[in-house]
Structure 1
Amino acid sequence: MLDLVPPDISPLFAGILIFCSFLTSALTAALGLGGGVTLLAIMGLGMPVSSLLPVHGIVQLGSNLSRSLIQRLYIVWPLALWFFIGSVIGIAVGAPIAVWIPDNVAKIALALFILWSVFRKRTAPKPVNRLFFILGGALTSLGTMIVGATGPMVAGLISSQGLTKQPLIATHALCMVLQHGLKILAFGLMGFAYHDWLPMLAAMIASGVLGTWLGTRLLDNLPEKFFRTTFRLTMLILSAQLIWQGVQGLLAH
């Protein structure tokens, strides 16, 4: 058992992370977001900072990949395409400079963008604004190299198109697959040793797939109005948490 657990964490904490991967994947599949941020916070309680973002990226890649496959018929492909182009630019340009951007400032900026995207006055649905999604992909990919969990920001970007629950969550899942994949590649090129975490990653991804299946069943039975209200409330809470963390960090300095 000990050989299957990375030396950086205890067997007990490893078991907690595997169970939490199941719960947070179910949460994300049902409500569209929240699971990635929650899992990142839990992982931060017992993992070294140097391992946190790379490992979280792979676990989230597995969770979002299973969700995008299960809900593939609902994906809005043009949105994902332009988001991917922006993500490539954001990772390539942002990775070298991300270390220079204060973490606390980035958290506040991400939260403000989320609130603007979700709560701004709606207009009639328009054709996809390519530049908007390319810039959004670039900015969120820069953010993911700094704070790790930018799922709420990406969800806010996609929700600006006024999608219903299934297309919103399916497209969000694919965009996160693309973004996490690029982030994993970037951390690998920067020298992170993923092989030490392979058994643990496999267990967390497997439990995440089960959670995704359960959450998807819940999503299919949620009324659209209830989903929309819960989605906005969740975004508000997550944004408030980001702002609070950012302000606390700035005041501490």
Structure 2
Amino acid sequence: MISMPFAAALAASVLSTSFVSGLFGMAGGMILMSLLLYLMPVAPAMVLHGITQIAANLARAWNLRQHIVRPVVVRYTAGALLAGVIVASGLVAPSKPVALIFIGLTSFAGLALPHRLTPNVTAPSQAIGCGTLCTGLQLISGVSGPILDLFFVRTALGRKEIIATKAAIQSIGHVLKLIYFGRLLLIEDGGISPLAVLLAIAAAVLGTLLSRGLLDALTDIGFALWSRRLIAAAAAVSLAQGLVLEFGSFR
């Protein structure tokens, strides 16, 4: 069983962040990660975040399935599987603070680059690299949103193609994260209430469906403008979290 205050906080957190992600294809997952880490320990938070994001992203991908750019999904998946092998083998294991600082600094640098130098997920080799980099960061820090968004923000894809394709590839990344942190949860002999899981899934799907009307009304120009602002905001949060974890609370 879960308490009513916890249930209300969980439902509100998942519903609101899924709505944001359904509208812009970004930011919601990172905000939710911070909220869940406040509500529960790390391993259960990572697992519940993975379950929630899989539900939300699958709902978005299905809702906009005709807009998915499938070659990007296939190439990203190849890179994601490579990252899973690398992280699981322990070949690369930077700390969470370093990963968060890297996400923040790299995202700001990417936004400042001229158009011709900005990462582009529609380029075959870059799609594979995106899958490797973003999935590796997900397994280390739990998030990779600003970096992933950077690969999409200056492509020629429309807003629905971006959201649909990102939803499909993020589902893959979150499945790998769920497997990775689910193993840790079993080792720690922890658990998550089934009611909390069902509540989170329902809120994630509902938030995604509620965002469709506003997405249809949003223009590609408006979407691109707000996407850059959200990337900057998410990068700032990531950088701040990493600095606090690495150097303390600055007191």
Tell me whether the two structures share a fold, i.e. TM-score over 0.5.
Answer: yes
Cα–Cα, structure 1 residues 180 and 230, in superposed 2: closer, same or farther, change >3 Å? same
Give 1:11 shift: 3.4
Give 1:240 shift: 1.1
Cα–Cα, structure 1 residues 196 and 243, in superposed 2: closer, same or farther, change >3 Å? closer
The CA distance in 2 between the partners of 1:127 and 1:48, in whole Å, is: 34
1:176 pairs with one of 170, 173, 181: 170
2:244 pairs with one of 237, 244, 248: 248
Amino acid at match of 1:185: I
Give 1:58 shift: 0.8
The CA distance in 2 between the partners of 1:166 and 1:101, in whole Å, is: 34
Cα–Cα, structure 1 residues 226 and 129, in superposed 2: closer, same or farther, change >3 Å? closer
Give 1:124 shift: 11
Structure 2 residue 142 is matched with structure 1 residue 143? no
Give 1:213 shift: 0.8
Structure 2 residue 13 is matched with structure 1 residue 20? yes
Cα–Cα, structure 1 residues 71 and 119, in superposed 2: closer, same or farther, change >3 Å? farther
Counting matched residue pairs gives: 246
Q: Say if 2:121 and 2:151, in contact at 8 Å, map to a contact too.
A: no
Structure 2 residue 32 is matched with structure 1 residue 69? no
Alignment of 1:102-113 (within 5 A): 102-113=95-106
Please tell me the root mean square deviation across aligned C-alpha atoms, in Å: 2.5
The CA distance in 2 between the partners of 1:127 and 1:157, in whole Å, is: 5
Cα–Cα, structure 1 residues 113 and 79, in superposed 2: closer, same or farther, change >3 Å? farther
Structure 2 residue 22 is matched with structure 1 residue 29? yes
Segments of structure 1 that go 5 or more residues without pairing to the other structure are none
> Higher mean Cα deviation, 24-33 or 99-108?
99-108
Percent identical across equivalent pairs?
Answer: 26
Cα–Cα, structure 1 residues 199 and 127, in superposed 2: closer, same or farther, change >3 Å? closer
Amino acid at match of 2:10: L
Amino acid at match of 1:50: A
Q: Say if 2:72 and 2:121, in contact at 8 Å, map to a contact too.
A: no
Segments of structure 2 that go 5 or more residues without pairing to the other structure are none
**Secondary structure of the equivalent of 2:193?**
helix
Q: Say if 1:24 and 1:39, in contact at 8 Å, map to a contact too.
A: yes
The CA distance in 2 between the partners of 1:68 and 1:189, in whole Å, is: 27
The CA distance in 2 between the partners of 1:119 and 1:167, in whole Å, is: 24
Alignment of 1:57-136 (within 5 A): 57-97=50-90, 100-123=93-116, 128-136=122-130
The CA distance in 1 between the partners of 2:223 and 2:190, in whole Å, is: 37
